[in-house]
Amino acid sequence: MSGDFLTVSGLTKRFGGFTAVDDVSFSVRQGEMISIIGPNGAGKTTLFNMLTGQIEPSSGELSFRGGIINRLPPHRRARLGLGRTFQIAKPLIALNALENVMIGALLHHKSVRAARAHAFDVLEQIGLAQRAFKRASELTLSERRRLEVARALALDPQVILLDEVMAGLNPTEIGESIALFHRLHRRGLTLLVIEHNLAVVRALSQRVIVLDHGVMIGQGGAEDMLTRPEVVSAYLGKRREWKPS
Amino acid sequence: MENLFTILFIGLWLGGIYGLVSIGLTLIFGVIRITNFAHGEVLMVGMYGTYLAYGWLGLNPYLAVVVVVPVMFVFGVLIQRVLMQPLLDEPLMQMFASFGLLMFLQNLVLMLTRGASLGIPSSGRADNLSIAGINLSLGHVLAFVASTVIVIALHFFLRHTMMGKAIRAVTQDKRAAATMGINVNRIYRLTFGLGTAITGVASVFLTPIYTLSPSIGGDFVLAAFAVVVLGGMGSIWGAYFAGLIIGVTEAAAGFYIDPALKSAVWFLIFIIVLIVRPSGLLGTVGAEEVGLREQH
Amino acid sequence: MSSISGISNGSPAATDMQRLRRAAVHEPFGRIVGKYLFGLSLALVPFGLLFNDYYSINILTFVYLMAGLACAWNIIGGFGGQFSLAHGVFFAAGAYIPAQFYLKYGVSPWLTAPAAAAVVATAAVLISWPTFRLRGPFFAIATMALNEVAAVLANYSDSLTGGARGLLIPFKASFSHMIFVERWKYCALMFAFMALTLAVVVVIRQSRLGYYLLAVREDEDSARASGVNVLAVKLWGMGISAALTSVGGTLFAMFIRFLDPPTLLSLPDIGVKFALLSLIGGIGTVWGPVLGAFFIIPAENFIRASLGGLPGAHLVVLGLLLMLAALFLKKGIVGAAAALWRRVRATP
C-alpha cells in the first residue's frame, strides 16, 4: 500500500504518571515533506525518539518500509534508511568534520576510502567542504547544525527526521537550509521536520501535523493548520474577552 | 533449621557493618553522581585515625568519634573541592583521579606505618563468638546499632532540615535547584563531607573489630559497591537493608561453600543485580543508565 | 555533485574543491607506515645503547612489555572509551595457562600463546557481553570486581594456579621454551611484542572498527543513530585487546618465571598500570601508551631504587601523578606536545 512507507499507530509514551505522547497515529508516504508542530513539551521530540528507537513506546506500533520496527535497535533502523538529527547537536568532538560524517558514511560504504569520498561529497552538498578538516569543536553553531544534517545524510537515508535544525540560525542561513532540503526532497528524500519557525513550516510542508500535550489535534495543509483556532490557542492560549470590572 | 538461624544471626551483625560502610558511599553516589574508588581507603584512613586517637590521646576508641568525624568531614570537603569538583563533567578522568587517590592514600599509610599490623586490644573483642569462620564480638553489635542510628538520623536530616532538602533538590535536578538559589557546588562539598564523616563513624566502629592494615580498604570497597548497587544508588535505606542481605549471603556462603570464596559471591551478586535490576532494590529505575551523565 | 552545491565545473572554485577532495580522500598510507617504522626505530635506540648493561636492559624489557600492554588496553580503553580494570585478568590468564601447559605437559609457550589468547579473548567477549550494558563507572566497577574474583580464585585454586604459593618455572634455556640465557633476547622479544601491538593499533585506527570505536567513545546514542552497532564494536575492541594482553602475559611468564596472584593480579601494579601509562602518555592516541611506558617505568624503577627502604613509596608518587594527570594533563604527553606544537605554529 502506498501509505505504508512510514506509519505510526496508537503510539503512546508514559513516563510514570506523565503521558508525553498520547495515542498518536499518522502515515507518511514516500517522498512526502511533513512538518510536526506544537508548543514546547507537546511530545514532538519524544515522538522522534520513539521513531528512531532511542525510547521504547509504552504502546502502539511503528512500521517502516512494510515491516514493524518496534523491536529494532536504533542502528538497525538507521540501516533501513531512517536518519535523524538531534535537537542538541551531538557532534563527535574529538574528530574533524569529515570524520564525523564518515561515521555515517561507513554504514553503506564499507571501505574507509569509499566512506571518506562519500563523506566529502555530502559535506560539499551541505556547503561545509571547506571546513572538512576542522575539529567539530571549532565549528560555529550554524556549521554544527549543518554537520548534524550531513551526518544523517551520509547514511543515504530514505527518510530524514529533522529536529529543530533551524533554531539559532540567521535568515540567510535559514534560506540556504530550506533550499538544501528542497533539493534533497526533489531527489526523493522523505522529510519529517519538527519546527517552530512558521516561515520554515510553510516552506517545508506538504502536510502539517499538530501535537499538543502529546495529543494529535489535527493534520492537513500548512495554511489550513496554521490558522485553525485550536492550533493557535495551543500556542498562544485561549482567546478571552477582556471585561472591565 | 538451626543452621539457618545461625546464619541469619551472624549475617545480620555482619550486615550491620556493611551497611555502615556503605551509607556514606551511596549518599555521595546518589547526590554527586561520582564513583569514588578510594572509598575503601577513606575508611582505612579513618580507622588509622581512630587508632591514633586511641594511641596518642588515650581515647577509648568509641569516644574517638568526637575527633575523627569532624576531621573526616573536612577531609571529605577537601577531596570534593580539590579533586572531584574540577572533574564534574569528565567521568573518565574522575575514575583516574579516584584511583590515583586510592593508590596515594593506601601507600602513604603503608609508608608511614612501615606495614606494621595494628590492632586495638579493646574490650570490644572480649566476647567472641566464632561461627562459620566469622568472629563475632560486642563490637559487631555496637556497629549494628550505629548503623541503624545513622540511617534513621540521616533520614530525618534529609527529610526535615533545610540543608537536607537542598541536598535532595540537587539530587533530583541540579539545574532547577540552582535556579532556586541553591549553590550546587557547595551542596556537593557538603555532601561529600557528610558522606566521609559517616564513613568516619564507620571507621570508628570498625577499628575495635578488625586488625588494621593499609589494604583493609580494598577488602571493604567491593562489598560497599555491591551493597550500594544492590540497595539502589543513592538510597540510604537501600544501603542499610542491602548491607543486611549481603551480610546474610556472605554468612551463608561461608557456611555452605567456603569462607575464602566470599568475594567471589559478592561479585556474583553484584553482576547479577547489575544485569537483572541495575537500579537495585530501592533505587529509581533507569538511574544507572542516566547514571553519571550530566542531567539535561 | 557540483550541480547540487551550485559551483560550475572548470571554475577556480571547482578545481579548489577537487584538490580539497583529493586531500580528503587520499589515505596517507605511506606516511602512516613511515611514522610507524620511524617510531619503532626511535624506540630501538635505547636497546642499542644499553645492550650490555644488565640492569638497564632489564628495565627496557619491562618498558617494551608495558608499552605493548598499554597499547592493547588503549584499544578498548582509549579508543573505545571503556575504562576496563579487567585487563589484569587477561594478563594473568595469558600467564597461567601457557605456564601450566609448559610445566605439566612440556608444551612450548610459542604454541600455547596464540591458543591462550584465543581462549582469553572468547572469555573476555562472553563476560563483557552483559557487562557492557553498564555505562562508564559501573562498567569500571564491574571489571574491578572481576579482577578481585580472579585474585581470590587464583589464591584458592592450587591445582590451576598453584594457589598462593604460585608457580615456579625452572630455568631451562632454549628457544622453544622461550627461556633465554642472554637478557637481551628477552628484550628483543618484548620489543617484537610492542611492535606487534602497535601494528594492530595502527591498522585498527585507520579501519572501520577504529572509527566506530571513536564514535562509541564520543557519544553512544549519536553513534547508534549513525548505524553503529555499539555493542558489537565494543566486543570486537575488547576481544582484540584481551587477546594481545594475554600474549603479553605469556611473555611475562617466561621472562619472570615466577607467577603468583600478587604479582599478576594486583590492581595498582598491573590492572591500573596499563590505564595509567595510557593516560600519562596520551589516552586514545597511537603513541601515547608507548610514551607513557618510556616515561613512567624507568621513573618508577628509579624511585623504587632510591626510596628502597620505604615500602610503597613509588606507588604514592604514581598515585599523585595519576591525580595530577587527571586534573591537568588529560591529553597526556602527546596531547601536551601537540598543543605546544600548535601554539608554536600559530605564533608569527
Flag whether residue B226 sits within 8 Å of chain C, measured between CB atoms: yes
User: According to the model, what pLDDT value does residue A167 have?
Assistant: 82
In whole angstroms, give the CA distance from residue C94 to residue A166: 55
* Best residue of B267, B277, B290, B296 to probe chain C, by most C CBs closer than 10 Å: B267
A160 three-state secondary structure: strand
Alpha helices in C26-170 (DSSP H): 29-49, 54-74, 87-105, 109-131, 136-156, 158-161
In whole angstroms, give the CA distance from residue C294 to residue C285: 15
Cell of residue C131, nine digits: 557487562
Are C280 and B93 in contact by the 8 Å Cβ rule? The answer is no
What is the interface pTM, i.e. ipTM, of the complex?
Answer: 0.87
Nearest to A169 by CA among A188, A149, A146, A153: A146
Cell of residue C114, nine digits: 596464540
Statement: residue B129 has pLDDT above 70: no
Q: Which residues make Cβ contacts (< 8 Å) with residue A43, sequence separation at least 6?
A: A13, A20, A21, A22, A24, A211, A213, A214
In whole angstroms, give the CA distance from residue C256 to residue A65: 61
Taking the mean position of all CA atoms in its chain, how far away is CA B70?
A: 17
Taking CB atoms and an 8 Å limit, are C145 and B270 in contact across chains?
yes
Output the CA–CA distances (angstroms, integers) from residue B224 to B21, B141, B160, C230, in the order listed.
6, 19, 27, 30
Flag whether residue B214 sits within 8 Å of chain C, measured between CB atoms: yes
Are C135 and B291 in contact by the 8 Å Cβ rule? The answer is yes
In whole angstroms, give the CA distance from residue C80 to residue C74: 8
Flag whether residue C225 sits within 8 Å of chain A, measured between CB atoms: yes
Nearest to C136 by CA among C220, C68, C18, C259: C220
In whole angstroms, give the CA distance from residue A116 to residue A103: 9
Question: Which residue is closest to A149 within chain C, CA to CA?
Answer: C226
Answer left, alpha or beta for residue A91, where phi above 0 means left and psi between -120 and 50 means alpha: beta
In whole angstroms, give the CA distance from residue C286 to residue C214: 13
Going through chain B in order, the beta strands assigned E by DSSP cover: 129-131, 134-136
Give the least confident one: A194-208, A219-233, B88-102, C151-165. Answer: A219-233
pLDDT (average), residues B213-217? 86
Q: Which residues make Cβ contacts (< 8 Å) with residue B119, sequence separation at least 6?
A: B210, B211, B212
Please return the burial class of B12, using the count of CB atoms within 10 Å of its CB with bins 0-12, 13-18 and 19+.
middle
More confident of the two residues B1 and A17: A17
Answer left, alpha or beta for residue B89, where phi above 0 means left and psi between -120 and 50 means alpha: alpha
Start-to-end CA distance of chain A, whole Å, equals: 60
Angle at C274 between CA C147 and CA B85, to 5 degrees: 90
User: According to the model, what pLDDT value does residue C76 have?
Assistant: 95
Q: How many helices (H) and strands (E) are present in chain B, helices listed first?
A: 12, 2
Q: Which of B53-62, C12-21, C186-195 has the highest mean pLDDT?
A: C186-195
Are C244 and C93 in contact by the 8 Å Cβ rule? The answer is no
User: According to the model, what pLDDT value does residue C253 have?
Assistant: 93
Tell me the HSE value of A219 on the side-chain side, using a 13 A CA sphere.
Answer: 16
Tell me the HSE value of A94 on the side-chain side, using a 13 A CA sphere.
Answer: 17
Cell of residue A232, nine digits: 493557535
Nearest to C16 by CA among B90, A222, B16, A130: A130
In whole angstroms, give the CA distance from residue B135 to residue C231: 45
Cell of residue C344, nine digits: 608554536
Domain ranges of chain A: 1-76+192-245
User: According to the model, what pLDDT value does residue B135 have?
Assistant: 63
Are C144 and B37 in contact by the 8 Å Cβ rule? The answer is yes
The whole-chain average pLDDT of chain C stands at: 88
Helix (H) or strand (E) holding B156: helix B138-160
Question: Which residues are A209's β-sheet partners?
Answer: A36, A219
Question: Which residue is closest to C232 within chain A, CA to CA?
Answer: A75
Question: Which residues are A64's β-sheet partners?
Answer: A6, A67
Question: Which residue is closest to C231 within chain A, CA to CA?
Answer: A75
Statement: residue C31 has pLDDT above 90: no
Cell of residue C59, nine digits: 628495565
Q: Which chains touch C (3 or more CB pairs under 8 A)?
A: A, B
Cell of residue C298, nine digits: 624507568
CA dihedral C80, C85, C91, C92 (to 10 degrees): -160
Taking CB atoms and an 8 Å limit, are B264 and C313 in contact across chains?
no
Flag whether residue C265 sits within 8 Å of chain B, measured between CB atoms: no
What DSSP line would sit under A109-142, residue for residue? Answer: --SHHHHHHHHHHHHHHHT-GGGTTSBGGGS-HH
Domain ranges of chain C: 36-264
Taking the mean position of all CA atoms in its chain, how far away is CA C45?
A: 21
Q: Which residues make Cβ contacts (< 8 Å) with residue C160, sequence separation at least 6?
A: C96, C100, C153, C154
Question: Which residue is closest to C26 within chain A, CA to CA?
Answer: A113
User: According to the model, what pLDDT value does residue B34 have?
Assistant: 84
* Best residue of A76, A86, A92 to probe chain C, by most C CBs closer than 10 Å: A92
DSSP state, residue B125: G
Output the CA–CA distances (angstroms, integers) from residue B234 to B17, B97, B188, B239, B291, in the order listed.
18, 22, 14, 8, 11
Statement: residue B63 has pLDDT above 90: no
pLDDT band at B293 (very low <50, low <70, confident <90, very high): very low
Taking CB atoms and an 8 Å limit, are A106 and C211 in contact across chains?
yes
pLDDT (average), residues C209-220? 93
- Block residue for cell numbers 556474583: B268
List CB contacts (< 8 A) between B99 and chain C.
Answer: 272, 275, 319, 322
In whole angstroms, give the CA distance from residue C212 to residue C223: 8
Helix (H) or strand (E) holding A68: strand A67-68
Q: Which chains touch B (3 or more CB pairs under 8 A)?
A: C
pLDDT (average), residues C205-222? 92
- Block residue for cell numbers 508525553: A20
Are C191 and C44 in contact by the 8 Å Cβ rule? The answer is yes
Please return the burial class of C297, using the count of CB atoms within 10 Å of its CB with bins 0-12, 13-18 and 19+.
buried
Give the least confident one: A203-207, B287-291, C232-236. Answer: B287-291
List CB contacts (< 8 A) between A111 and chain C.
Answer: 208
Are C285 and C332 in contact by the 8 Å Cβ rule? The answer is yes
Statement: residue B126 has pLDDT above 60: no
pLDDT (average), residues C35-47? 90
Are B205 and B146 in contact by the 8 Å Cβ rule? The answer is yes
More confident of the two residues C65 and C161: C65
User: According to the model, what pLDDT value does residue B290 have?
Assistant: 41
Domain ranges of chain B: 2-88+97-104+132-287
Percent of chain C with pLDDT over 70: 96
Statement: residue C179 has pLDDT above 80: yes
- Among C21, C27, C219, beta carbon nearest to A90: C219
Question: Which residues are A215's β-sheet partners?
Answer: A212
User: According to the model, what pLDDT value does residue B296 have?
Assistant: 29
Are B120 and B207 in contact by the 8 Å Cβ rule? The answer is yes
In whole angstroms, give the CA distance from residue C13 to residue C155: 70
Flag whether residue B129 sits within 8 Å of chain C, measured between CB atoms: no
Q: Which residues make Cβ contacts (< 8 Å) with residue B196, sequence separation at least 6?
A: B24, B42, B72, B73, B75, B76, B77, B79
Statement: residue C8 has pLDDT above 80: no
User: According to the model, what pLDDT value does residue B121 have?
Assistant: 63
Taking CB atoms and an 8 Å limit, are C208 and A106 in contact across chains?
yes
pLDDT (average), residues C281-290? 92
The domain covering A1-76+192-245 belongs, at the CATH homologous superfamily level, to P-loop containing nucleotide triphosphate hydrolases (3.40.50.300)
Output the CA–CA distances (angstroms, integers) from residue C17 to A100, A134, C5, C20, in the order listed.
19, 16, 11, 5
Please return the burial class of B3, using the count of CB atoms within 10 Å of its CB with bins 0-12, 13-18 and 19+.
exposed
In whole angstroms, give the CA distance from residue A4 to residue B246: 54
pLDDT tens for chain A, residues 1 to 245 = 445 789 999 999 988 888 889 899 999 999 999 999 888 878 888 999 999 998 889 999 999 988 889 889 999 999 999 999 887 777 887 888 999 999 999 999 988 989 999 999 999 888 888 888 888 888 888 888 889 899 999 999 999 999 988 887 888 888 888 998 999 999 899 999 998 888 888 888 889 998 888 888 888 888 887 788 777 777 776 666 676 76
Are C73 and C90 in contact by the 8 Å Cβ rule? The answer is no
In whole angstroms, give the CA distance from residue C126 to residue C325: 33
User: According to the model, what pLDDT value does residue B291 have?
Assistant: 37
pTM score of the predicted model: 0.89
Give the least confident one: C135-139, C141-145, C219-223. Answer: C135-139
Nearest to B274 by CA among C296, C346, C141, A34: C141
Nearest to C194 by CA among C329, C271, C337, C291: C291
Give the least confident one: A176-185, B10-19, B146-155, B256-265. Answer: B256-265
pLDDT band at B285 (very low <50, low <70, confident <90, very high): low
Domain B2-88+97-104+132-287 coded CATH 1.10.3470: yes
pLDDT band at C4 (very low <50, low <70, confident <90, very high): very low
